[in-house]
Amino acid sequence: MLAKRPFFITFLAPAVLTAVILAAAIFEVLQYSVREFIPGSLNVGGFTLANFAALNKPIYWWVLADTFFISLLTAIFSLLASYPVAYALVRAKRDWVRSALVSLSITPLFTGEIVRTFSWMLTLGTDGFINSILRKLGLIDMPIQLMYTRFGVVVALVQFSMPVMIILLATAIAHVDRDCEKAAANLGASPTAVFWRITLPLTVPGILSGIVVVFAWTMSAFSTPQLIGGGKILMISNLAYLQGFSVLNLPFAATLSLIALVCALGSLALMKGVTSRIERRLAVH
């Protein structure tokens, strides 16, 4: 049997080892989340469910609700801002326009979250770019508060999520059968009608996966709420970090990290369900 499957063990072993290490790391989080917190010590006590019970406080519910709210806003605005770009990227007639659009929309993905967050701090700050421009134009006397607000956090998060949203939407738009559009146009539909009644409905699966991927991704955002929210806007990631590194309550930090993981997995599972249902419905028609 081994002779029939050359390199099987050799190639399998490193992958399995990596998977075991990864699973062990996640298991540690799981294990700490059910341990007793000993104040003033980094060691943990026996097994307990007290950390999960401690979650049931208004402040933690607020943080969780705010995390959901910010992620939902980000997903919706990211969709609205990305669709025209994705559409242009797929349908542009000239090659160089397409290449330019791909480069412009994809490169921000690779500069890293600290560079992007810091750039937004410079843009949104009291002496930042937007306030300076508005003041030069005489539109405002006092700087507007953009940093440390939910608005500022969402503005930055939408920009971060756009490359991923654009990739998913562009793939969906590229798969739209152009003959359907042509048929509708030949039958007298205006370009606007073709877009709203043919193109857009055919890209619904892409739209849904875009929304859920961005939603799940934003729920685990850390540096943007940390730096642009500046402690005034707390998402679950910031609370977990605060508990782990300031309060030094490792078990509770582990509980919060685990909740974040469950939320991310849950929204993706939800997406699978919804997308397959929609696709089935589209297939029927």
DSSP 6: T
Candidates 70, 73, 75, 89; binder of another protein (CB under 8 A) is 89
Question: How many residues make up the chain in this entry?
Answer: 285
Candidates 171, 200, 205, 278; binder of another protein (CB under 8 A) is 171
Q: How far is the CB of 202 from another protein (least distance, A)?
A: 16
**172 binds another protein, rule: CB under 8 A:** no
Q: Which of the residues 68 through 87 are near another protein (CB under 8 A)? A: 81-82, 84-85
Candidates 133, 183, 193, 270; binder of another protein (CB under 8 A) is 133
Please count the residues of this chain forming the interface with another protein, following the rule CB under 8 A: 87
Q: How far is the CB of 38 from another protein (least distance, A)?
A: 15
Q: How far is the CB of 112 from another protein (least distance, A)?
A: 3
Q: How far is the CB of 56 from another protein (least distance, A)?
A: 21
DSSP 5: S
Candidates 115, 180, 183, 193; binder of another protein (CB under 8 A) is 115
- Pick the closer one to another protein by CB: 41 or 281: 41
C-beta atoms surrounding 165 within 10 Å: 30
**180 binds another protein, rule: CB under 8 A:** no
- CA proximity to 259, closest of 67, 47, 44: 67
Is the CB of residue 42 less than 8 Å from the CB of residue 248?
yes
Phi, psi of 222 (to 5 degrees): -125, -55
**37 binds another protein, rule: CB under 8 A:** no
- CA proximity to 167, closest of 93, 88, 82, 108: 82
Question: What are the C-alpha distances in Å from 194 to residues 68, 93, 201?
Answer: 34, 18, 10
- Pick the closer one to another protein by CB: 115 or 180: 115
Candidates 265, 270, 272, 281; binder of another protein (CB under 8 A) is 265
**22 binds another protein, rule: CB under 8 A:** yes
Taking each helix axis from N to C end, the angle separating 8-33 and 250-284, rounded to the nearest 10 degrees, works out to 120
Contact region with another protein (CB under 8 A), list: 25-33, 47-55, 138-146, 181-189? 25-33
Which two three-digit tokens encode residue 228?
Answer: 């642009």
Question: What are the C-alpha distances in Å from 229 to residues 38, 41, 118, 148, 198?
Answer: 30, 29, 12, 4, 41
Contact region with another protein (CB under 8 A), list: 103-111, 141-149, 180-188, 270-278? 103-111
